[in-house]
Homo-oligomer: A and B are copies of this chain.
Amino acid sequence: MANITKKVSWSSRGDEAGAAWEGTPLLNGSERPSVSRQLSGERRLFQIGRLSTVDLDEEITAEEDSTSWKPKEIPHNEKLLSLKFESLDYDNIENQLFLEEERRMSFLGFRCLEISRWVVCGLIGVLTGLIACFIDIVVEKLAGIKYQVIKENIVQFTEAGGLSISLILWAVLNCAFVMLGAIMVACFEPIAGGSGIPQIKCYLNGVKIPRVVRLKTLVVKVFGVICSVVGGLAVGKEGPMIHSGAVVAAGVSQGRSTSLKRDFKIFEYFRRDTEKRDFVSAGAAAGVSAAFGAPVGGVLFALEEGASFWNQMLTWRIFFASMISTFTLNFFLSIYHHKPGELSNPGLINFGRFESETMAYNFYEIPLFIAMGALGGALGALFNVLNYWLTIFRIRYVHRPCLQVMEAMLVAAVTAAVSFIMIYFSNDCQPLGPDNSEEYPLQLFCADGEYNSMATAFFNTPERSVRSLFHNPAGTYNPLTLGLFTLTYFFLACWTYGLSVSAGVFIPSLLIGAAWGRLCGILLASIAQADSTWADPGKYALIGAAAQLGGIVRMTLSLTVILVEATGNVTYGLPIMLALMTAKIVGDYFQEGLYDIHIKLQSVPFLHSEAPATSHWLTAREVMSSPVTCFNKVEKVGTIVDVLSNTSTNHNGFPVVVQVSDNDEPAKLCGLILRSQLIVLLKHKVFVELAQSRLTQRKLQLKDFRDAYPRFPPIQSIHVSQDERECMMDLTEFMNPTPYTVPQDTSLPRVFKLFRALGLRHLVVVDDENRVVGLVTRKDLARYHLGKHGLEEMHLAQT
């Protein structure tokens, strides 16, 4: 097990743990009286909602104690995300090199850049659309074949007896597909597991998640999602599209692929975090757009999750990418469906046409929608709590790839078995309509000309099931069928999310919600028998689906717009908004959203859009890490190498200072330099020999930094000889001479606002003489959060 797990030590004190993130050591000397008073003093890794009864932290404490402070093992699946997360730098490094380049550039040059940005966004849209198209067609083909084979088998054995053979066939087929998908994810690229939305949220928030936007991840993601959907799991193919779009964007915008070792020598200007993150926003939006046919929803998703600063041109480009993505998908799907050029189709998931005449809602239905929202919130919180426990269990016990593959196969088999049993014991027979809207109607034990209604829900891809629940006429399902379906699918979906397969939670959530929503509609219609027109079950299915999805993922504006766009009808804006809002309020009372839970479980230093409300009594002085490792403007190479090689600190940003006097007082700030820049400088041996009086530094260009971006080599790979160690290095040209600073008395919300609004990575704290006294990094801000007992401070894992 040693070869697949990593030894990690939990820090014994949060204050020290803070040091290792990317800042500087925080000595015990730093005073934090108010915090200490508020904190319970116990080790508290993450705050669990009030429904939760498992106290992970106590567990950990116990384990730590039993191993007498030895490092604790973090299992494979979490380890991959609990590595030291670095931050992205949304703030341009405006050093001399950069400014010189910008100043050289003519107005025409900027115009060309602007045009290339549009071209890149167009490419992102086209490629994302093509990927969506590929996934859709392959899934449809494979699932069609699978269901056809099973259906023929069932028909064959229904009369002859021996349906257990059909069950086994079904389970084996599912297991085979899922095994393939799980092996890819578990063994080759674990980051491709799940929907990828939490990872993209983190990336857009400014956290660099390792390998999240690599080509390999994309390939595994695409084939993984095909396998898991065809494998009949309770999953959707929509979430992964968002991740796929983001990877496409990260690749296209850099004009090269490190994996394929191809550099097209284009878009070199975009090889930095600022630009890349903008494009990744566009990619995520294009992904949402392709998945749900919701370009505006995609833009809002990207903005809600990512952009810290609203920029009109950026938003417009993101929208362009989204539109192109939907357009490409629709165009190629229309060709595939032999209706070339008919572009009025939505994205991957098709909610079907909602006619507002037949499904208009009335004033007195508003309270019903709100009540359904509350139910969705409660059910969503239950889902999240169950999934939270399951994830904890998985982190502890299911961390070896073979176990993960086996669990995935087990879930696939159980899904097939449960579905089969439900269909087998269902006696909800419905007459086959003249339009024959069912794709694979199963007759089973029904009379001729009838089909099994339970099979519509279970013996189908989830997307089709959702559409049936929305649009099949009243009376297609009987209430018992819907109730049983909701119950079983709820637990299946909950068990499935978090498996080592590439799959999304959107569609299962919608399906669960649509089922109980339709049930509500049927019950309401039976209560108000006289006027049954108002309680159209399809309408209630839609609201239920929205409420359930909102209760699980807790997205707000973007989800409203996505659902409205997916229905293709703006009439339902208000009911969907009300349901989502209620679901969020009710759900948040019990437990956080599913994505947030998973982000927290991965110990990601995620920055919300505002500082915790009651954090005004904290100032930069208490929050910052200090003392700070600084460099002089002209620094000895040996010192730099030693600092960079010090694995116990592993700092990423270093203030550059000028010593004003020889005594020990802190030096004046004159710049900021990053580890990555220093490594490039060391690699290119940009040294000044002391003996020579004039500078012999090799002239470095921005290109050298861009070529190394984003995979800067580790310091260990750079050899520096003993002679070179004695040389000096002049940082003046490369450091950012105007880093943002704050005084020590700045309150935490103020620091937070500056940090978040500008997307900073390092914020230097200075005293009133402009001397460096501390450094604030992402982890210094992210660790404060509102708990049950007021402001709490999270402790951080060393690795």
Instruction: Show the binding face of A for B, using Cβ within 8 Å.
Output: 92, 94, 99, 102-103, 105-107, 110, 293, 295-296, 299, 303-304, 307-313, 315-316, 319-320, 323, 326-327, 331, 334, 340-344, 346, 356, 360-364, 556-557, 560-561, 564-565, 568-571, 573-574, 577-578, 581, 608-610, 613-614, 616-617, 658, 668-670, 737-738, 740-743, 745-747, 750, 753-754, 756-758, 766, 768-770, 786, 790
Contacts and interface: CB of A to CB of B under 8 A. Distances in A.
Contact of A568 (B102, B105, B315, B571): B571
Contacts of A747: 94, 99, 738
A570 B330 CA distance: 14
Given A319-B557, A319-B560, A362-B343, A303 B296 contact: no
B574 A296 contact: no
For chain A, what secondary structure do more than half of its interface residues adopt (helix, strand, loop), or is it mixed? Answer: mixed
Contacts of A334: 363
Contacts of A364: 341
Nearest to A92: B750
A569 B571 contact: no
B754 A574 contact: no
Contacts of A608: 312
Contacts of A756: 309
18 contacts: A99-B617, A103-B616, A296-B296, A304-B312, A308-B309, A308-B310, A309-B309, A309-B757, A312-B557, A319-B560, A323-B578, A326-B574, A341-B363, A344-B361, A738-B745, A738-B747, A740-B742, A769-B770
Given A326-B574, A770-B768, A564 B296 contact: yes
Given A557-B315, A738-B746, A745-B737, A614 B107 contact: yes
A573 B310 contact: no
Nearest to A670: B768
A504 B115 CA distance: 34
Given A319-B577, A738-B743, 8 more contacts: A94-B750, A102-B617, A110-B614, A295-B577, A309-B756, A320-B581, A356-B568, A565-B570
A42 to B, nearest CB: 20
Contact of A609 (B311, B556, B790): B311
A677 B304 CA distance: 36
A557 B738 CA distance: 34
Nearest to A309: B757
Contact of A570 (B568, B617, B740): B568
A658 B295 CA distance: 55
A658 B767 CA distance: 14
Contacts of A573: 295-296, 323, 326
Contacts of A570: 293, 346, 564-565, 568-570
A343 B361 contact: yes
Nearest to A744: B738
Nearest to A100: B616
A102 B616 contact: yes
Given A341-B362, A769-B668, A312 B565 contact: no
Q: What 9 A-B pairs have minimum CB-CB distances, sorted nearest first?
A: A341-B363, A110-B613, A102-B616, A738-B746, A757-B757, A344-B360, A770-B770, A341-B362, A103-B617
A310 B281 CA distance: 14
Contacts of A343: 360-363, 574
A724 to B, nearest CB: 31
Contact of A106 (B356, B614, B668): B614
Contact of A342 (B360, B565, B741): B360
A704 to B, nearest CB: 20
Contact of A299 (B293, B363, B557): B557
A356 B106 CA distance: 47
A560 B568 CA distance: 15
Nearest to A568: B570
Contacts of A360: 342-344
A340 B363 CA distance: 8
Nearest to A580: B316
Contacts of A564: 296, 570
Contacts of A295: 573-574, 577
B609 A310 contact: yes
Task: Tell which of A570, A577, A669 has the most Cβ of chain B within 10 Å.
Answer: A570
Contacts of A742: 738, 740
Contacts of A103: 616-617
B312 A310 contact: no
A741 B738 contact: no
A271 to B, nearest CB: 18
B316 A556 contact: yes
A323 B574 contact: yes
Nearest to A556: B316
A142 B293 CA distance: 43
Most chain-B Cβ atoms within 10 A of its Cβ — which of A293, A308, A609? A609
Nearest to A335: B363
Given A343-B362, A360-B342, A561 B296 contact: yes
A556 B311 CA distance: 12
Contacts of A362: 341-343
A362 B344 CA distance: 8
Contacts of A356: 344, 568
Contacts of A669: 768
Contacts of A569: 568-570
